[in-house]
Amino acid sequence: MAGPLEYNATLESREDFSDVLSTFRVVPDEPIAPDEARAFVPGQYMTLGLNNDEAPDLGSVRRPMSIASAPHQRETLDFYIRYVSSPASNNPLTHLLWKLKSGDRLYMRNRPAGKFTVEDTIGTNDARTWIYVAAGTGLAPFTSIVFDDAHTNPSGSLARHVVMHGSSYDHELGYRKELESLAQERDLRYLPSVSRPQHCPDWSGASGRVEDFFKAERLADTEQRMQMGEGSLTPDNTAIFICGLNGTIQQTIERLLPRGFIPDNRRIKRALGVEDRPSSIFFEQYDNEPIVDIKNEDEVARLKALLPST
């Protein structure tokens, strides 16, 4: 059992998109990295924690949460969080978080972490289009990256960023207003998709899970939505970033293998025999299910057969 945490941050406000999906704005007592030019690198996460006051026997719990805000927003940090209805542990953080109201105290480790950043993957000078594939709260690192670029280059185009965001319902598309206005005013390419459109009478956009944008029969349409020529979705032109749960990551990789995209994972690359090829799909996973069961020879052979012959 983890011991009690000393609280060092305050919940300033929260916005609830539904019963299970909210953004939390947190104010640290001490500024994050006050001596650095940037408080963190977009794409990084913080660790949030709470003591279980109602069941003290369960102690405290901490979990990593991607930072959804951009680093220029120094005084506060935003998080986009899903309440996990079927938790794996007996002391789930999200169940404690959901009881918090403005002004309540919590723990936030005073150090950003993580390498799911442009800097640590393709490098900021990479001239390709960057496609972000996000299921639900997996959007968080990507809003940070896009808001950072919008702030740092106030008159520049955001056309190099493609944000694909999937949710069950249209009202769960967090940050929709902000992203739509960046699409209108700054050429951000924003492709939201809703997987239960039958329950969304006002929704006329794309439907299906976000990874369905890459179904073979939809690729030409997806390229058109991204304002790319047919057949041009290749690693020569684009780098892919995926964030969320296992299913989205696994399906996106599988559907992009035929276009020659290579996942950035040493063990998967070795199993597929493509260790010498540069990675072009980078991912951050919120759960622990393996993306590819590399011990399953049939599965590996099936995936290998999807790769284009070079």
Ligand X SMILES: Cc1cc2nc3c(=O)[nH]c(=O)nc-3n(C[C@H](O)[C@H](O)[C@H](O)COP(=O)(O)OP(=O)(O)OC[C@H]3O[C@@H](n4cnc5c(N)ncnc54)[C@H](O)[C@@H]3O)c2cc1C
Q: How far is CA 37 from CA 40, 74, 144, in A?
A: 9, 10, 16
Dist CA 131 CA 252 (whole Å) = 12
What does the binding site for ligand X look like in residue numbers (CB under 6 A)? Answer: 45, 61, 63-66, 79-82, 84, 87-89, 92-94, 114, 136-137, 140, 245, 284, 286-287
Do 291 and 310 form a contact (C-beta atoms < 8 A)? no
Do 38 and 94 form a contact (C-beta atoms < 8 A)? no
Nearer residue to ligand X within complex by CB, 114 or 208: 114
Residue 190 β-bridge partners:
163
Surface-to-core class of residue 70, CB atoms within 10 Å of its CB (0-12 exposed, 13-18 middle, 19+ buried): buried
Dist CA 66 CA 114 (whole Å) = 9
Least spacing, CB of residue 175 vs ligand X, in Å:
12
Least spacing, CB of residue 66 vs ligand X, in Å:
4
Nearer residue to ligand X within complex by CB, 49 or 235: 49
Residue listed under structure tokens 């950003």: 112
Nearer residue to ligand X within complex by CB, 71 or 136: 136
Nearer residue to ligand X within complex by CB, 128 or 176: 176
Nearer residue to ligand X within complex by CB, 65 or 106: 65
Least spacing, CB of residue 165 vs ligand X, in Å:
13
Measured in whole angstroms, the distance separating CA 256 from the mean position of its chain's CA atoms is 18
Point out the residue whose Cβ comes nearest to ligand X. 287
